[in-house]
Amino acid sequence: GGIMRGPGRTTVFGPLLVIGSVGLDRGRVLDVQGGATWISGSINLNAGSGVGSGTIVNRAGSTFSTGFDGFIFTQSFGASDDGTSARFDNLGTFQKTAGAGTSRIQTAFNNSGVLDVQSGTVNLSQGGTHSGNFRGTGTIGFGGGTHTLSASSSITKANATFSAGTTDIGGTYNVTGTTTFNGGTANFTGPLTSLGNVLNISLGTANLGGANATVTTFTQSGGTLSGTSRLTVSGATTLSGGIMSG
């Protein structure tokens, strides 16, 4: 527990264990270079009313690991300290190894390394800039803000969910299980290797502009399927609402 605050930097070269509720504030940077294990509690990256938010940097070669459904968040104390500068910069590996529910990251999350979801879901709800890889047997959720995935990025996962905000996917998209749209907009402009076996659209917009795609099952109950690419369904299709255009 406890709070680190002020415009300094705490650099951790050895193993870091995070237990209970911890906070960063007023420009504090937690620089993780030797790996971290987060086993309980929440992480607040704007933990007080002083101006400036906290930042976590997980360095290249470092693994920040969690095995439960945790919560990284920020909060607003008014216009001068609204928490929007809070962020997690992942240059190494951020991994979720257990927990069948959702780990929520409600600050900006910038991934130039690897986000490895082995269990449950990791939901990113405040945007980010990404040049790294999203992988694993779990689900990555793009749940808000603006996410920009460069040409060097890749999503090579079992499942992906788009529920809010705008996600611009300029890199490789190769999902093997299910792609779900229940809000927001996803623009596919990079190599579209696979949308998975199942495509579900209930809300939001899936704009397929990167390449043609084939799925086994397609269900659309709302939302919009758009773009210039061809979608081929090899199995069952259920249409009960929504729009297809382009």
pLDDT at residue 195 tops 90 = yes
pLDDT at residue 118 tops 90 = yes
Q: Predicted confidence band at 189 (pLDDT cuts at 50, 70, 90)?
A: very high
pLDDT at residue 211 tops 90 = no
**What's the pTM?**
0.96
Please state, in angstroms and rounded to a whole number, the distance separating the CA atoms of residues 233 and 236. Answer: 7
Instruction: Kindly report, residue by residue over 82-117, the tens digit of the pLDDT.
Output: 999 999 999 999 999 999 999 999 999 999 999 999
Per-residue model confidence (pLDDT) at position 1: 81
Per-residue model confidence (pLDDT) at position 210: 78
Q: Predicted confidence band at 197 (pLDDT cuts at 50, 70, 90)?
A: very high
Please state, in angstroms and rounded to a whole number, the distance separating the CA atoms of residues 138 and 160. Answer: 9
Instruction: Kindly report, residue by residue over 19-54, the tens digit of the pLDDT.
Output: 999 999 999 999 999 999 999 999 999 999 989 999
Percent of the chain with pLDDT over 70: 100
Average pLDDT over the chain, rounded to an integer: 97
Handedness of CA 154, 160, 165, 166 (dihedral sign): positive
Per-residue model confidence (pLDDT) at position 12: 98
pLDDT at residue 76 tops 90 = yes
pLDDT at residue 67 tops 90 = yes
Per-residue model confidence (pLDDT) at position 173: 97
